[in-house]
Amino acid sequence: MLRVRVLPALVLAPIILAIVLLGEPWLSLLVGVAAFLALVELVGLLDAAGHQPPQVLTIISGMALVAAGLVTINGDSVGGTAAHLVVALDPPGLVAATMVAIVLLLAAVGFTRANPAAGFMTWAITSFGVAYIGLLLPAIVLVAHLAPAGGSATTTVGAFGISSGPAWALLLVLVVWGYDTGAFMTGRWLGRRRMLDHISPSKTMEGLVGGLVLATLGAGLGAVLIGLEPWHPLIIGPLVGLAAQAGDLAESMLKRAAGRKESGFIVPGHGGILDRIDSFLFAAPVLAGYALLAAGRVT
């Protein structure tokens, strides 16, 4: 089992790190592909849970929301119609306007259900599903656009002279992968006390502690890449590590509701795409928020 998990990770990790370092447009393209695959899996989970989402419309709506987020984040480098939309919809913003349109459209789908209770659940749950992927996933790209005050995402920072955006994205990867690895290995070797047995029986308190330790070490390395003061990793590691765990638990709750063990089977030994990005869905917005509010960074 361990070998099946490790081999795909050894293949995928260098590819992901290379894309992170290359930056745009490759990172947005990767996020877009991941979003499509995750939405397909999400529709399957919601359907298995009995919520009857309009499958094609849910995927299209989710991709529209992801696209709105990516266009907004990459606003300085987009042109044509996309640029006009960003300007015309400020305020409320392209992302907010897209989400409002999606909620209204999905409400109309709910009207077609013979049972009002079923119609309401279709509307509410599908809107949640679209927001879950469409609002949270682009935050990964937002992290990769963080810049020092007065600079840009391409400004070199830290001990190795890496551009600010890729350096922050690397910090995110180091913390999330550090947490996942630490939690898995510590839980496997030392895990005794279950954390939330009704959601994920394999999660243990010992794994939580081990994950936070490794997440903090990853944050320390990331802080060197960015040039942050030494106290930042002591906050970033536990804060983003806990967010990563919450993201994993949120997806586990969704899978339990659907009666599924994995969201899909695209990555041998790791399940589906949603199983691989669930931690990032919560961790990326938290890191972006911390950087913007506490670390003196701008987008």
| Per-residue confidence (pLDDT) for residue 86, from 0 to 100 | 73
Give the pLDDT confidence score for residue 283 in this predicted structure: 98
* Alpha helices per DSSP H over 49-159: 55-73, 80-88, 94-111, 116-134, 139-143
Residue 150: is its pLDDT beyond 90?
A: no
Encode pLDDT of 74-83 as tens digits: 987 777 777 7
Cα–Cα distance between 99 and 131 in angstroms, integer? 8
Give the pLDDT band of residue 270 (cuts 50, 70, 90): low
- Higher-pLDDT residue of 84 and 283 is 283
Inter-residue long-range contacts of 190-199, CB under 8 Å, 24+ positions, other chains counted: 196/249, 198/256, 199/249, 199/252, 199/253, 199/256
What would the pLDDT profile of 169-190 be if each residue is shown by its tens digit?
Answer: 999 999 999 999 999 899 888 8
Report how far Cα 67 is from the mean position of its chain's Cα atoms: 15
CB 286 within 8 A of CB 243: yes
CB 262 within 8 A of CB 272: yes
- Give the residues across from 271 on adjacent strands: 267
